[in-house]
Amino acid sequence: MNSRRGSVTRKFGILTSGGDCPGLNAAIRGVCRAAQGRYGMTIVGFSDGFRGIIEENARVLGPNDFSDILTRGGTILGTSREKPFKSDVGSMDDIVGEKVGAVKATYRKLGLDCLVVLGGNGTNTTGYRFAQEGLNVIGLPKTIDNDIVGTDQAFGFHSALSVCSEAIDRLHTTAQSHHRVMVIELMGRKAGWLALYAGVAGGGDVILIPEIPYDIKAVARHLEARTRSDRPFSIVVVAEGALSIKEAEMDKRERKKHRAENGPSVGYRVAREIQDETGMETRATVLGYVQRGGIPSASDRVFATSLGTAAADLLARGDYGRMVALRSGELGSVDLSVPAGRVRYVPRDHYMIDTALAVGACMGIG
């Protein structure tokens, strides 16, 4: 058993917020087993994200709550997309004031020294806003989108990458058998990390990401060249936020109208555009929520656990207002202001783009 160590934090709350992903329970286990076993802290778990702390839907967590959850997908605490600083009618109206007030009241009523939040951009931004309101907050970077500024990687990404890669492998066999172009749409919100990495992992012939608006004629030329070189089948990997050059030039209203007329799924739009441009038989698959389900990969189990124990150390030191992070291969932390309100996009000069091009993938231009 760990020898007990001193800790500035005696009692903290923990919640999971935003889209679920494999690794959440591994991270919860990492935080809680280190906080309780090494530092003797008391832990209060809130259900369903920030809704749980607003409604004081809370319970003290003990060793039985966080044993045997390392390999379980989803989150034992439940999650929601509740954003206390936002409401349907405005940003700082009475409803927001009530929700923010309720969070602060619960935090003080339960005698918390800190609130640990596991989530993506939105969650860590909300955590930062509560830190500005005087609460002690520590964030952990969670999302399959991998788009959190301040950390090289978020947990959940690697597990989703494994699911996407296997799905692309399966599409290869049916594409080859039918001599078809198979388009697969992957998640990732506004960034292209998942599509880029899964495209390389799965040998995608075309990889379309939001950071590089695509020219469907360049895509068509690439696919026709493959056919001429006796490879009459192709895999096209499309991030859900991918845009054509034309769409990228539209304003929000025009883009919304364009999607209303041409369908909300970029995967299906690209498939139709390819078929119209080339005459090749093309099919689309939207992989959807399987990317967020199932058990965590071994890599995510290790990564999420280490982020969790690092968060426990921040709690013990009273090092609040920070998000644990992986930076240049080292575990560390950044001020919560770093990820707040920002999205980590794929830089145009990122090595993985050059890797994709070097193995002959088309990125929608050229």
**Active-site residues: which are they?**
145
3-state DSSP assignment of residue 353: helix
Residue 18 Cβ vs ligand F6P, minimum distance, rounded to whole Å: 6
Question: Cβ-count burial of 92 within 10 angstroms (0-12 exposed, 13-18 middle, 19+ buried)?
Answer: exposed
Distance, first Cα to last Cα, the chain: 60
**Tokens standing for 366?**
């050229």
Q: For residues 164 and 219, which CB has a smaller minimum distance to ligand F6P in the complex?
A: 164
Residue 344 Cβ vs ligand F6P, minimum distance, rounded to whole Å: 13
Q: For residues 163 and 235, which CB has a smaller minimum distance to ligand F6P in the complex?
A: 163
Q: For residues 13 and 188, which CB has a smaller minimum distance to ligand F6P in the complex?
A: 188
Q: Which residue has the tokens 């020219």?
A: 215
* 236 near ligand F6P, judged by CB under 6 A: no
Distance from C-alpha of 33 to C-alpha of 111, rounded to nearest angstrom:
21
**Tokens standing for 222?**
């690439």
| Strand residue runs (E) in the chain | 11-16, 42-46, 58-61, 114-119, 137-141, 181-186, 206-208, 234-239, 282-286, 322-327, 330-335
Residue 19 Cβ vs ligand F6P, minimum distance, rounded to whole Å: 3
* 16 near ligand F6P, judged by CB under 6 A: no
**Tokens standing for 182?**
């198979």
Which one of the spans 105-113, 137-145, 267-275, 319-327 is the region binding ligand F6P (CB under 6 A)?
137-145
Among 38, 180, 226, 292, binds ligand F6P (CB under 6 A): 292
Among 30, 78, 127, 188, binds ligand F6P (CB under 6 A): 188
Residue 186 Cβ vs ligand F6P, minimum distance, rounded to whole Å: 8
Residue 268 Cβ vs ligand F6P, minimum distance, rounded to whole Å: 16
Among 31, 54, 103, 144, binds ligand F6P (CB under 6 A): 144
Contact set for ligand F6P, span 31-70 (CB under 6 A): none
Residue 2 Cβ vs ligand F6P, minimum distance, rounded to whole Å: 34
* 19 near ligand F6P, judged by CB under 6 A: yes
* 82 near ligand F6P, judged by CB under 6 A: no
Q: For residues 240 and 273, which CB has a smaller minimum distance to ligand F6P in the complex?
A: 240
Distance from C-alpha of 120 to C-alpha of 147, rounded to nearest angstrom:
8
Q: Residue 148 in contact with residue 154, Cβ under 8 Å?
A: yes
Contact set for ligand F6P, span 86-115 (CB under 6 A): none
Among 48, 113, 145, 185, binds ligand F6P (CB under 6 A): 145
Q: How many C-beta atoms lie closer than 10 Å to residue 56's C-beta?
A: 15
Q: What is the dihedral of CA 129, 130, 134, 135, to 10 degrees?
A: -150
Q: For residues 210 and 321, which CB has a smaller minimum distance to ligand F6P in the complex?
A: 210
* 143 near ligand F6P, judged by CB under 6 A: yes
Residue 23 Cβ vs ligand F6P, minimum distance, rounded to whole Å: 13
How many residues bind ligand F6P (CB under 6 A)? The answer is: 11
Q: 167 has which bridge partners?
A: none
Among 33, 189, 269, 301, binds ligand F6P (CB under 6 A): 189
* 187 near ligand F6P, judged by CB under 6 A: yes
Q: Residue 182 in contact with residue 240, Cβ under 8 Å?
A: no
Q: How many C-beta atoms lie closer than 10 Å to residue 165's C-beta?
A: 17
3-state DSSP assignment of residue 331: strand
Which one of the spans 130-138, 139-147, 165-173, 200-208 is the region binding ligand F6P (CB under 6 A)?
139-147
**DSSP letters for 272-293:** HHHHHHH---EEEEE-GGGGG-
Residues binding ligand F6P (CB under 6 A): 19, 81, 120, 143-145, 187-189, 240, 292
